[in-house]
Structure 1
């Protein structure tokens, strides 16, 4: 019973949401950290707003289904679109970004930004 209460209290402390500020680890080489900010707002109508890699989210959707909370959104670098998707996994986020014009797909992880 006590462990159930502790789990319920813990869940109340950290809501299972992608909303908020994140630090995205885009490092491609061990020992060379490279991070960028992500700020997501999951709107009640199912859309996503905010920014990723200092680029405003142009369009996006989110959904909670099959035991997962995920979002997909589009940003740009001024040359072409970047399509990103992210899912909440425990207390962190796991995502990927596809840049068609640059011909790459990049997998990344994110942690909540400290207040």
Structure 2
């Protein structure tokens, strides 16, 4: 019975992070720069979708310690980008690391307009 309840809770949890997002990648005040992110959190703990117009190659999500987060990998064709995102209220906060480009970038996201 407990395993059924846990499975049901896990299957329902990702809905809050699912969907289309607008990620704010601005690095200078007054110069907006946004990119799309679309996440689909599956009941088996995997993540699919896209970020910055690049398909998610591999990803996982978890709802633990009071927060729902996902981590995933994309590529620019030259190297991997490792991103993590957590739901915070109605928005999301995340970061992307690109070792081959020598940067770590913190970002915020809001639900994309419908």
Q: Same fold (TM over 0.5)?
A: yes
RMSD: 1.1
Any stretches of 5+ residues in structure 2 without a counterpart? 1-13
What is the aligned partner in structure 2 of residue 25 from structure 1? 24
Scaled by the length of structure 1, what TM-score is found? 0.86
* 2:15–2:41 contact (8 Å) kept in structure 1: no
4+ residue segments displaced more than 6 Å: none
What is the aligned partner in structure 2 of residue 8 from structure 1? none
Any stretches of 5+ residues in structure 1 without a counterpart? 1-14
What is the aligned partner in structure 2 of residue 84 from structure 1? 83
What is the aligned partner in structure 2 of residue 44 from structure 1? 43
* 2:72–2:83 contact (8 Å) kept in structure 1: yes
- Alpha carbons of structure 1 residues 16 and 45: separation in structure 2 relative to 1, 3 Å: closer
Matched residues, number: 101
* 2:60–2:71 contact (8 Å) kept in structure 1: yes
Per-residue deviation, 1:104: 0.3
